Amino acid sequence: MVVVSQPALDHFSPIKTCKPTASYFSGIPVVDLSNPDASSLIVKACEEFGFFKVVNHGVPMEFMTSLESQAINFFNLPQSEKDRAGPPDPFGYGSKRIGPNGDVGWIEYLLLNTNPDVVSEKSLFIFRENPQIFRSAVENYVSAVKKMAFEIVELMADGLGIEERNVMSKLLRDEKSDSCFRMNHYPPCPELQALSGRNLIGFGEHTDPQIISVLRSNNTSGLQICLRDGAWVSVPSDHTSFFINVGDSLQVMTNGRFRSLKHRVVADPMKSRVSMIFFGGPPLSEKIAPLPCLVVEGEESLYKEFTWWEYKKSAYQSRLADNRLGLFEK
């Protein structure tokens, strides 16, 4: 991976690029939520990849398409209007800059909080300044996706043989749950492809800090995952399905049995990618530690004790590609 340096491309700098060589990966586990074996398939996928695709999820297609078109309307607004909803604090509209520590990407986005307890001026401003239909589309979509996320973590608990099947879902259901929602837009960039034969990195490699992330995109691919051998492979897009990522917190709660997966997004040179991700996190005061029933006798926690607030604070002092969990390993 290099940084584009030709003067003609200066306005892209310092966004990283990569060769468009990642191959499409056909081995992504697919879980049909109506399959009676869904719980064991989910556990297997989380152990092997920390990533899987969900079909027969029950989220109405209409919620997905209407939010997508609202997101497109927003991203099509004049730059000066979008900028009124920024800069992100971390909520709000952001362009190219990701997080507070110098990460950049070929991206614009809206980051919203989903916890009514947290008063985010930026989120309120975005809802106030956009048509009611925008707010309704976000609310319908987020509430349907949350429900699916609850079901998935309950199936995980079943598959792990945990008696208290709501041990994880209660954290996401909690009214103080620190979850958030992000809409990303990766504009096409044909000039760069033509000049250098390379693609721009839209969202640099990282793991998600929360418990679980639920991603949906339009039919433009670009999401890549890093396999165990370090190879980056492309995830074929499927606008009717959801993709689930194990987050760092779930890795800790399973004492490393599930792995949070490194992923990134490479912008398509010709087509816009629009994605929307729900990040399910616990309440800020929640201790993140291995679930006692998953630590067998004689085994120890691989991690120091910390709360989600402590982890989040540390994450916001890190760069995207940093190994955030490393600081909390014993």
Ligand X SMILES: C=C1C[C@]23C[C@@]1(O)CC[C@H]2[C@@]12CC[C@H](O)[C@@](C)(C(=O)O1)[C@H]2[C@@H]3C(=O)O
**Which residues of this chain interact with ligand AKG, rule CB under 6 A?**
182, 184, 203, 208, 215, 217, 223, 263, 265, 275, 277
Give the angle subtended at the CA of 182 by the CAs of 197 and 39, to the nearest 5°.
100
| Shortest distance (Å) from residue 12 CB to ligand X | 19
Q: How many CB atoms lie within 10 A of CB 69?
A: 13
233 DSSP β-pair partners: 225
| C-beta of 68 vs 208, nearer to Fe ion | 208
Report the C-alpha gap between 184 and 202 in whole angstroms: 9
Catalytic residue status for 264: no
| Shortest distance (Å) from residue 163 CB to ligand AKG | 32
| Shortest distance (Å) from residue 203 CB to ligand AKG | 5
318 in contact with ligand X (CB under 6 A) = yes
Give the angle subtended at the CA of 107 by the CAs of 103 and 108, to the nearest 5°.
105
Q: Record the tokens describing residue 328, joined without a space.
A: 């909390």
Nearest to 202 by CA among 189, 219, 193: 189
Nearest to 31 by CA among 144, 143, 162, 152: 152
- Region binding ligand X by CB under 6 A among candidate stretches 34-42, 96-104, 118-126, 288-296: 96-104
Q: Where are the alpha helices (DSSP H) in 49-131?
A: 61-75, 79-83, 121-129
| Shortest distance (Å) from residue 110 CB to ligand AKG | 11
- Placement of tokens 């010709």 in the chain: 270
* Coil, strand or helix at 60: coil
Binding mask 201-230 for Fe ion (x = CB under 5 A): -------x----------------------
Q: What is the largest CA-CA distance in the chain?
A: 62
29 in contact with ligand X (CB under 6 A) = no
Closest residue to ligand AKG using C-beta atoms: 275
Q: Record the tokens describing residue 303, joined without a space.
A: 């991690």
| Shortest distance (Å) from residue 263 CB to ligand AKG | 5
Report the half-sphere exposure of 28 (CA within 13 A, side-chain side). 27
| C-beta of 49 vs 203, nearer to ligand AKG | 203
- Region binding ligand X by CB under 6 A among candidate stretches 5-13, 23-31, 62-70, 97-105: 97-105
Active site residues: 273
The binding site for ligand X (CB under 6 A) comprises 90, 98-99, 101, 103, 111, 180, 182, 206, 208-209, 279, 315-316, 318-320
The binding site for Fe ion (CB under 5 A) comprises 208
